[in-house]
Chain A
Amino acid sequence: MSHDSRSNLILGICFAAFALLLIFIWIPFDTDTGLIEKVRRQITIGDALAPTVAGIFLLLGGLILILFERNAPDQPEVDPVNLGFMAVVFVLLAASFLVMRYGGPAVVALVNLSRETPLEYRLLRDSAPWKYTGFFFGGTLMIGGLISLVEGRITLRAVLIGIVAVLAMIAVYDLPFDDLLLPPNGDV
């Protein structure tokens, strides 16, 4: 937080510009009806009105930031190092969900190498242990990876915590219920 930060002014300009784009371009081009419609001699509110109200809130917020709050004390300073960390977190999350999505079919494909009649993951997605494979590998990667990222080193402890946490989640969300599907089994 700083007195010298211009983050409020920048934020105000960005949101005022976005609100104008929203009100004058996105909403008119992406809704079927305008603000007010006349249908069979009856006047009704069109689909564009509510998002326009949202746009007005954004525009007002942006303008007040520019006009009244640009010199406010304790404005936040955006640290690019933190944003870099978040980018790495998102890469890790994307990798974890890719492993979660394709982990199960990949294990089945590996098993099929030694089988005469091939298995199909789609048909196994509701039977243990197959239904847990993607969630297990993806979830462990996510938890273990995030712990390692924060601690700045990869440790066996982080992986073990990931495994225990994922097993606990399987026990909570899947074992007692027949009707719940763990990720990614609703999509495969």
Chain B
Amino acid sequence: MGALDYIWAGVLAVFLGPELFSVFGVPVPVTIVMIFAGFFLGIAVGATPGLAGPIAMAIALPILISIFGYTPDALLPVMGFLIGVMKGATIGGAVPAILFNTPGTPDAYMTTLDGYPMTQKGQAKKALRVAHLSSVTGDTFSDMVLFICAPFLALLVEGYLDLPEKTALLILSLSFIAAVIGGSPAKGLISTGLGLLFAYVGTGEDFYPRLSMDSKVLAQGFPLATAILGVLIVGAVFKELTDLWREKRESGLLAGTIEDSGDQRLHMREIRRLVPYIGRSAVIGTAIGALPGIGSTLAATIGYTVGKARYQRTKSPEAPDFGKGAPEGIAATEAANSSVSGANLIPVLSLGIPGNAAAVFLILAADSIGGFNPGPSVFRFTADAVNPELVIAFGLFTAMLIANLLNWTIGGVFMRSMGIMTRIPKQVLLPTVLLLTLTAIYVQETRMEAIWFTLGFGLLGYVMRVVAISPLPFVIAFILGGKLEESARQAFAATGGDPWFLFTHPIAAVFMALSVGVILLTARNNRVRASRASA
């Protein structure tokens, strides 16, 4: 099969896959329906403060696996649903930020700066239209870059990197993620170390399950879902519950609603004015998203800062400043944070390294169902025999295009109707999400220990947030821990037991030097910043 045959097979796998129902004799494939369902759910959860895409993914995953089973046929419907959620949540996050000055997700914080002032001026619908246009443009651009770069990067990795280099690349990724996420390389290293440590409990090649302290419960290790959902979701719920309780004690009231006034449509001349901001931010977000671990919050901040610099040079005197209700501010932020999501899948699909929480859930789905192992081997264009993983990869790209099409056509209307979701009180939502998550874990694992593990990881996630340690390096290290050890064992054996295999191969040595360099450089920069701040 040639490259075009694979692409076509991926498209057909989505459109000619198992039929869910038919309308007037026309079969409706299940993957399309799942992308639709995921997309609308994603907008709804993105628009609900306290919820986010990963929560919806966590809750839906066991249900989806129960429906579709553990067969390769389940991959596209399940992962199509998750991609739909990811895309929907990206645009949904702007709704509470604009309407209620409450960022649904951290990356929507910068959207509040201009979005909420526009709402206060009665321009809420216009602000939502700007957010939608910018978000969907950035997202589509990012996806295009993903489609082009991921296969080439994977081929490059497969062609030039051997086992020692792959091991060094995993170490470099972990160091990079540790250094850049959360702004403190020390805390990133701690988070990564904890993730690796928990991944290694109860595993290994010996008869005795290591670090299990002779406990039968620990001997089986920690299930992937308990660690991911515990640290990411339950930890976040605990933190939000505490913040809410504090807020209530110190008395906080919801602001009243503001009626729309004036022209709410987005005209062509306004779109032309926004295009440079959207374009720059889309490039910034995509470049940042392609590096594993750097989140959309940083992309939004840089996009906003770059946009602000341009705006100050070019704005007319009567136009509002950035931070006072400038549509360009929303465009710069939303295009940047939305263009992270597609590019973030470049390291997932080409290297098997997840870069953000949504990617973590895609890997969890692939791991739970089986038959698809994200990594460089996916992009083997075998001519003699069909590589089913490659067909799935192009099926996923097709699913992303369909979600984008939905986003361009009906996403905006649905997004603007989701203002109602912001009225669900968090104190009702958070306990419900907690029980939903724990139930989702139990129906997957069917043992109470899984719930205790999840609560334990939730407590760890809470403490990490309290002491400002980002939980994302923990989760990524937990996922990559097994792969790192396996790769090191194979490299060690392949080099004839050379203990210095990471340093005797030139590319591996460069990766190792970069691993140390990125940590030292970030630590040094932080120290300089700290001494400037205290001076």
Interfacial residues, chain A to chain B (CB-CB below 8 A): 3, 7-8, 11-12, 15, 19, 22, 26-27, 30-33, 36, 42-51, 53-65, 68-69, 71-73, 75-76, 78, 82, 85-86, 89-90, 93, 97, 101, 135, 139, 142-143, 145-147, 149-152, 161-162, 165-166, 169, 172-173, 177, 179-184, 186-187
In the complex the two chains form, is A147's CB within 8 Å of B431's CB?
Answer: yes
* Cross-interface CB contact of B431 among A30, A33, A61, A146, cutoff 8 Å: A146
CA distance A55 to B198 in the complex (A): 11
Knowing A32-B210, A44-B493, the reply to whether A180 touches B193 (Cβ < 8 A) is: no
CA distance A186 to B524 in the complex (A): 52
* Cross-interface CB contact of A165 among B66, B199, B432, cutoff 8 Å: B432
In the complex the two chains form, is A58's CB within 8 Å of B190's CB?
Answer: yes
From B101-109, B119-127, B180-188, the one touching the partner chain is: B180-188
List the B residue with the shortest CB-CB distance to A143.
B431
CA distance A152 to B249 in the complex (A): 8
In the complex the two chains form, is A68's CB within 8 Å of B447's CB?
Answer: no
In the complex the two chains form, is A55's CB within 8 Å of B212's CB?
Answer: no
In the complex the two chains form, is B63's CB within 8 Å of A172's CB?
Answer: yes
A-B contact count (CB 8 A): 231
**Size range of the chain B interface in the assembly:** 35 or more
In the complex the two chains form, is A182's CB within 8 Å of B435's CB?
Answer: no
CA distance A166 to B385 in the complex (A): 50
Asked if B213 CB lies within 8 Å of chain A CBs, one says yes
Asked if B455 CB lies within 8 Å of chain A CBs, one says yes
CA distance A179 to B241 in the complex (A): 33
Q: How far is the CB of B408 from chain A (nearest CB, A)?
A: 31
Interfacial residues, chain B to chain A (CB-CB below 8 A): 62-63, 66-67, 174, 178, 184-194, 196-197, 199-200, 204-208, 210-213, 238, 241-242, 244-246, 248-249, 427-428, 430-432, 434-436, 438-440, 442-443, 446-448, 451, 455, 459, 462, 466-468, 481, 484-485, 488-489, 492-493, 497, 499, 519, 523-524, 526-527, 529-531, 533-534
Q: How far is the CB of A23 from chain B (nearest CB, A)?
A: 11
Knowing A58-B197, A142-B431, A182-B443, the reply to whether A71 touches B246 (Cβ < 8 A) is: no
Residues on the A chain within 8 Å of B467, using CB: 7, 11, 76, 78
22 contacts between A and B (CB under 8 A): A7-B467, A22-B197, A43-B492, A50-B481, A50-B484, A50-B488, A51-B210, A54-B200, A55-B197, A57-B189, A58-B190, A58-B197, A61-B178, A64-B189, A65-B187, A69-B527, A85-B241, A85-B246, A146-B241, A150-B241, A162-B431, A180-B62
Q: How far is the CB of A82 from chain B (nearest CB, A)?
A: 5
In the complex the two chains form, is A177's CB within 8 Å of B190's CB?
Answer: no
CA distance A22 to B66 in the complex (A): 40
In the complex the two chains form, is B468's CB within 8 Å of A26's CB?
Answer: no
Residues on the A chain within 8 Å of B187, using CB: 11, 61, 65
